[in-house]
Structure 1
Amino acid sequence: MTPEAAYDEIHGRLRRWPDVETHDLVAADRSDRLILTSAGEIAEDITIIGDRYGALALSILAAAPGTRIRMHQDPITGERALANNAASLGIDLSTLSWHGLDASLTGGAHLAIGQLPRGLGALDEIAGVIADHAAPAVRVVLGGRQKHMTPSMNDALRAHFREVRAGRGAGKSRALHAEVPVPGAGDPWPRRAVHDGLTLVAHGAAFAGTDLDVGTRFLLTFLDRMPPARAAIDLGCGTGAIAAAYARAHPEARLVASDRSAAATTSAEQTMIANGVAERVRVVRDDGLGSQPDGSADLVLLNPPFHSGNAVTDEIAPRLFADAARVLRPGGELWTVWNSHLRYRPQLERIVGTTRQIGRNASFTVTASVRG
């Protein structure tokens, strides 16, 4: 059986859980099948980057059990979904290992496949890690839905490979092929920038990169009004701007900075070091606040995401509100910034407690909700 045939058998049984699941969000699509077809013969050792919920890895293992797979999935929910799907399908994962985006993932690789990331920064870092550490004869196959692809993706690959071409489209999907790596090309990751004295460090896939996104910037205008807290949490921390800013303003505070993204948490760790607060901020990669005890925080700070991969969804924020409510002590507060058109206040009132508006501009609202 080929990996494509295995995909045809299993894709309808794949789930996104514990990631958001709704009727219009899928765990696999035709781009996964096209990547497998475009990869050609699968060697005994393969590197996979960006396999969202396991469609690529599990199809390969179903077709060729025992294939050694080195895997990088940025969201921890992707890792857990893959493991859940493997268990439900009865697929052995003993030859699959997860890695950071580094030499342990791509060292000596002859074939690297995966889903194209959303951002060019992420693609540049991925291409660089492959080109710097893979075998000189490595073949790279990265695919996606055509509506999310741009010519700039070809340019990002050409910065690290001498030969780049686009394959034929199929099912509204396409794969990009790259060969002949150029080690050491391009600027190194992570990168950094300074915003009003606050240093941000960012890997390629981190939300907003080294920029201070507008929602976070607006929330931080109220930093002097936030209550002092012994134990605070930056939930969905991204590059760690909110945690670092709060820690600098409140030397007595101990913080947890939590995000599901490996790029985010790796960036946030470096942001804390760059701002001199690493001893007081613990960065964790987690699905929401799953690893935090009930009633353990005085304050939660949140700029909730509204993307799951390339899809826009309003299902993420309520889950994060519920996590915040669980970990807050009675009387603790959740400070949230959100796009005003999303009208989150009734949900905050219901899930967390009494909510007051702190500030509002043309795009964003900042609220504080008190845990009852």
Structure 2
Amino acid sequence: MTTDALLGGHDLTLHRFPLEQKNRSLQAWDAADEYLINYVLEHHNQAQRILVLNDNFGALTCALKVMSVSERHITNVNDSYVSHQACEYNLANNQINDSAVTYLDSLSEYPHNIDLILIKIPKNAGFLAHQLALLSSLTSETKVIASGKVKEIHSSTLKSFNHFLSEPTTSLAVKKARLIFSKTTAKPVASKFPVSWPLEKTEFTLTNHANVFSRDSLDIGARFFMNYLPQGKKPFKVIDLGCGNGVIGLISLDKMPNAQVTFVDESAMAVASAKENITLNLPDALERCHFVQNDCLSDFTADSADLVLCNPPFHQAQAITDHIAWQMFVQAKQVLKKGGELRIIGNRHLDYQDKLNRLFGNCKVIGNNKKFTVLSSMLRG
């Protein structure tokens, strides 16, 4: 999806990633981006070293670079592989020099030599709290400006800012978006992440970083899916696609002692959690594992996997959409060997069965309850 945006007094052509997604109602920037950029242009346009957190598709980074009257350094921190891809693409597409842009993932230490900190408020409140905890150790009196839709900024959001930073204030709402103003204190407050908890009905313990789905307990979809995972001694090449904390791949390694499992997620924190969980629970199986942060199965070798296991998301950031699930299914078909299987779990109302029937020519229900259905499609020769 391509959108033309006026940000910071400059026209930008911005692309939402993945480029192949067809939902024309989704754009690569929103009113919260616009509000934040306009405020910076008016009040902080001389800031030279800016830390930007959670810039979904690069709108903030692009605007900050074209607004600058001199060379400005941007440190772009994101948990999302796709977001970094989008930012790099949009900078190049708008012919913006990216030589003074540094990309860090969500597990990296923040730089201390910063003039201004900008935050796009993430959907995950725990992830925001973790980021604020990291900011609490930075140099005192560095200004922090966060932006989000009014409906996303709750009293708990302000409490979180107040807990980790100096007393926050808020702006008036503009186009259903709002800003939060605060400052760093140089008084570090520890993050509670990563968290650990025992995996029910097993001897395993799971560790989750802050931005991993269902970080405090096993999510109900994964719990149901665990009842329908393959087992046996065949030397299958398995992909845990959208692996999250890696629980599905972990159980698969335990049930399939000769399998090789590749854990794939676009979240850096998810891939790190998966690796830590295998290291903690099945250290002898590490040599049978690969851990990849990626945009689904983009650039994976065709005809290379026997089995793809997947619990697909139905949202991207705050947007509800099925295009990621469809991308996962299409790419799984490309990666599977003849006779290979895609096995997924999904909410029953999402009608993945119809999608898989159209794509593979077959789809079998192998388990369901009132909320979820487990489906299997085979790649026939």
CA distance in 1, matches of 2:194, 2:51: 22
Shift of residue 198 of structure 1? 3.1
Q: 1:187 to 1:91 in 2, by over 3 A?
A: closer
Q: Counterparts of 1:1-372 in structure 2 under 5 Å? A: 6-11=7-12, 13-18=13-18, 20-39=21-40, 40-42=43-45, 43-64=47-68, 66-102=71-107, 104-132=109-137, 134-181=138-185, 183-196=187-200, 197-223=203-229, 228-276=234-282, 277-372=285-380
Worse overlay, 272-281 or 357-366: 272-281
Other structure's SS at 1:163 match: coil
* Structure 2 contact 116–143 (Cα < 8 Å) conserved: yes
**CA 1:92–1:226 in 2, change beyond 3 Å: closer, same or farther?**
farther
CA distance in 1, matches of 2:301, 2:288: 18
Structure 1 residue 322: Cα displacement: 0.7
Q: Distance in 2 between matches of 1:291 and 1:298?
A: 17
CA deviation map 1:283-314 (0-9, x unaligned): 11100111321011111000000001101112
Deviations 1:18-37 (A, max 9, x none): 25342211111111121123
Cα gap change, 1:322/1:58 in structure 2, threshold over 3 Å: closer, same or farther?
A: same
For residues 239 and 140 of structure 1, what CA distance do their matches in structure 2 show? 31
Deviation string 1:1-34 (CA, Å, 9 cap, x unpaired) is xxx97444335x2110325342211111111121
Preserved CA contact (<8 Å) 2:233 2:256: no
Letter in 1 for 2:261: L
Deviation at 1:115, TM superposition (A): 0.6
- Using the alignment, how far apart are the partners of 1:322 and 1:115 within structure 2? 31
Three-state SS of the structure 2 residue aligned to 1:221 is helix
Which moves more between the two structures, 343-352 or 319-328? Answer: 343-352
Separation of aligned partners in 1, 2:219 and 2:195: 16
Please say if residues 107 and 268 of structure 2, whose CA atoms lie closer than 8 Å, have aligned partners that are also in contact. no
Compute the TM-score of the two structures, normalised by the length of structure 1.
0.93
Q: Percent identity?
A: 28
Give the C-alpha shift of residue 102 in structure 1.
4.9
Preserved CA contact (<8 Å) 1:190 1:201: yes
Task: Supply the distance in 2 between the matched residues of 1:334 and 1:170 (Cα, whole angstroms).
Answer: 45
Unaligned runs of 5+ in 2: none
1:117 & 1:72 partners in 2: Cα distance? 12
Residue 181 of structure 1 and its aligned partner are, at CA, apart by 2.3
Asked if the contact 1:6–1:62 (Cα under 8 Å) also holds between the matched residues in 2, the reply is no
| Structure 2 contact 139–186 (Cα < 8 Å) conserved | no
Comparing 55-64 and 191-200, the one that deviates more: 191-200
Does structure 2 retain, via aligned residues, the 8 Å contact 1:322–1:352? no
Q: Partners of 2:108 and 2:141 in 1: how far apart?
A: 16
Structure 1 counterpart SS, 2:110:
helix
Whichever residue aligns with residue 17 of structure 1, its letter is F
Q: Distance in 2 between matches of 1:294 and 1:287?
A: 16
Query: TM-score w.r.t. structure 2 length?
Result: 0.91
Q: Distance in 2 between matches of 1:6 and 1:357?
A: 48
How has the CA–CA distance of structure 1 residues 102 and 357 changed in structure 2, closer, same or farther, with 3 Å as cutoff? closer
| Unaligned residue ranges in structure 1 (runs of 5+) | none
Cα RMSD after superposing both structures: 2.0
Report the CA distance shift for 1:321/1:49 in structure 2 as closer, same or farther (over 3 A): same
Greater displacement, 263-272 / 282-291: 263-272
Report deviation, 1:103.
5.6
SS in 1 for 2:298: coil
